[in-house]
Structure 1
Amino acid sequence: MKKLTRRTFITTATFATGFALAVQPISAKVITTDSKGLIAGMVKVPVKDGEIPAYRAMPSTGENFPIVLVIQEIFGVHEHIQDVCRRFAKLGYSAIAPQLFIRQGDVLRLSNIDEIRKVVAKVPDEQVLSDLDATVNWVIKSAKGNANRLGITGFCWGGRITWLYAAHNPKVKAGVAWYGRLVGDKTNLTPNHPVDIASNLKVPVLGLYGGKDTGIPLETVEQMRQALNKNNKSEIIVYPNAPHAFFADYRPSYRQKEAKLGWQRLQAWFKQHGV
């Protein structure tokens, strides 16, 4: 495992102030949430082999905030993911998005999607789950987080991780997975996929998927539905006309109607399950 150094953190944290190079040009529909009334910015999260950078946003006053882990797309913790954290903070959450690829490479600096995929393909699930455990601990100790009100949400790559972390950590009250891959080949780095943990899942997860997602066939969505334990309160919703990444307001794939509906469902889901 690559040793993380203070210099690695500083260079990454300094750069993580805009959109990733690979997501240019930015759509005119991009949503920008200000930090008024918030404490927001880059932080250092202690992990097993050093520190990883993360972006966190929380209300500037108060304490004992419900926690939301915000899990990145393959493009990293760029401005869109940071903005999502600020949206949660405006709702009263202590939200945090750790940079989960940093040992394997800094995807924020890469402009080629194929290069990004090569970096992401090297990231072990075990490392990710361990880093998220460490991130939760940091939020509880350093960002006034309430350990009893923990939620998670993630997009694309992060949608898959949302399912897996909900199975990994029973302290999670609820999760919302946005168009995360559900099936795949088992490898040493990715020993399980959401469909493999579905029958034993205890945490209620809401899956939000697009009917026109060319990367996640609807048959795999139905396969996941069938695999879920009937006693589990998880649900999967498909927006028939939505493509992949329909929540990503900085990209051409953005669909305002479905994104708004999904965001409303997320808030209701978290409230329903005590996050």
Structure 2
Amino acid sequence: MEKNSAEQLVGTRATHAGFAAAVQPVCEPQIVHTPTEGLQADWVHISVDGFEVPAYVAYPQGAIPPAAGAKAPPVLLVIHEIFGVHEHIADVVRRFAQQGYLAIAPALLLRQGDAASFSSIEALMSQVIRKVPDAQVMRDLDAVVDWAHAQGGDTGRLAVTGFCWGGRVTWLYAAHQPAIRAGVAWYGRLVGPVSELAPQHPVDVVGRLAGPVLGLYAGQDSGIPLDTVDKMKSTLRRGSESARRSEIEVYAEASHAFYADYRPSYHPEAAADAWRRCLAWFERHV
């Protein structure tokens, strides 16, 4: 991949420059901005069932393909929020790439619609998010893993992390994909109504976790009640070996999306501690 500027990287049909319209107001400037210096970063398209899934990819410059005798970088899937792969998620990909990962954020909603084009969360939820089948998401992520392996990434050291909607997907994918070594789920919903599109939720799949998951949650999250977090904790203790090795950290004073440094919900202390825990978790397990 050719090295591009951050401005060029955000100009694809997967996202728009800046941030998704539905997340307004946005705190400008973004608190953290990770440049592409020292990285290879670009958009790619990965074919899945005849559909071209765009994915934002970043990794240390020269790491792919690995030079003779060099160690291939571990592969890390970064799962976006309901707002798609906008600039914050692209920046998170670059943050992980700076840590030595081949980090990939596929745009997982586009079959149902362009999340960046919606001006309200209510419309986005009803017209896109609630129409996305979990099975479709799992197939897309499997194809992304295959693509990363073909590029020379080390899928023997495969990890997944995700935020909000992507936090829920992180739990599900850690139970779906046997190659997962570890996951970090940021404030992802744990329970919910069962439907044809969402036949199971994280609390239902802990017995199948391929690797341990670190859950990062907020004590002031009105959308994820603490009793559901407590239910997940007790379920993990009764689950598989990977489930029992999983952990959940709750930041009592933080609210939902506390890591999103472009939103008013950003909580600097919780975000910094959670990022430290996330990196340590992957270093330990991946």
TM range (shorter): over 0.9
- What is the deviation of 1:11? 5.8
- The farther-off stretch of 151-160 and 230-239 is 230-239
- What is the deviation of 1:66? 0.6
Given the alignment of the two structures, is residue 37 of structure 1 paired with residue 34 of structure 2, yes or no? no
Task: Say if 1:71 and 1:155, in contact at 8 Å, map to a contact too.
Answer: yes
Query: Counterpart of 1:116?
Result: 124
Query: Counterpart of 2:163?
Result: 155
Query: Counterpart of 1:263?
Result: 275
Distance 2:213 2:181 in 1: 9
Could you state the TM-score of these two structures normalised by the residue count of structure 1?
Answer: 0.92
Aligned residue for 2:124, secondary structure, equals helix
Query: Counterpart of 1:241?
Result: 253
- What is the deviation of 1:23? 2.0
- What is the deviation of 1:20? 1.0
Q: Residue deviations 1:206-247, cap 9 Å, x none?
A: 000001101000000000111111633101111111100000
Given the alignment of the two structures, is residue 253 of structure 1 paired with residue 265 of structure 2, yes or no? yes
Given the alignment of the two structures, is residue 133 of structure 1 paired with residue 145 of structure 2, yes or no? no
Give 5+ residue unaligned stretches, structure 2: 1-10, 67-71
Structure 1 segments, 4+ long, off by >6 Å, are none
Structure 1 pair 86–11 and aligned structure 2 pair: CA distance change class (3 A): closer
Which amino acid counterpart does residue 124 of structure 1 have in structure 2? Answer: P
- What is the deviation of 1:18? 2.2
Distance 1:23 1:217 in 2: 22
Query: Counterpart of 2:13?
Result: 12
2:199 paired residue among 180, 191, 201: 191
Q: Residue deviations 1:47-88, cap 9 Å, x none?
A: 122211111111112221111100010011000000000001
Mapping of residues 83-94 of structure 1, within 5 Å = 83-94=91-102
Aligned residue for 1:238, secondary structure, equals strand
- The farther-off stretch of 68-77 and 222-231 is 222-231
Q: Residue deviations 1:95-135, cap 9 Å, x none?
A: 01001000000011111111110211000000000000001
- What is the deviation of 1:199? 3.0
2:185 paired residue among 156, 159, 177: 177
Task: Say if 1:46 and 1:138, in contact at 8 Å, map to a contact too.
Answer: no
Distance 1:132 1:192 in 2: 17
Given the alignment of the two structures, is residue 71 of structure 1 paired with residue 79 of structure 2, yes or no? yes
Q: Report the RMSD for the aligned CA atoms in angstroms.
A: 1.4
- What is the deviation of 1:202? 3.5
Distance 1:22 1:185 in 2: 24
Structure 1 pair 44–204 and aligned structure 2 pair: CA distance change class (3 A): same
Aligned residue for 1:136, secondary structure, equals helix
Query: Counterpart of 1:22?
Result: 22
2:115 paired residue among 102, 107, 111: 107
- What is the deviation of 1:36? 0.4
- What is the deviation of 1:203? 1.4
Which amino acid counterpart does residue 161 of structure 1 have in structure 2? Answer: V
Distance 2:31 2:122 in 1: 24
Which amino acid counterpart does residue 52 of structure 2 have in structure 1? Answer: E
Could you state the TM-score of these two structures normalised by the residue count of structure 2?
Answer: 0.89
Aligned residue for 1:225, secondary structure, equals helix
Structure 1 pair 34–11 and aligned structure 2 pair: CA distance change class (3 A): closer
Aligned residue for 1:12, secondary structure, equals coil
Which amino acid counterpart does residue 174 of structure 1 have in structure 2? Answer: A
Structure 1 pair 138–230 and aligned structure 2 pair: CA distance change class (3 A): closer
Which amino acid counterpart does residue 53 of structure 1 have in structure 2? Answer: P
Count of residues in Structure 1 that have an aligned counterpart in Structure 2? 263
Which amino acid counterpart does residue 141 of structure 1 have in structure 2? Answer: A
Query: Counterpart of 2:47?
Result: 46
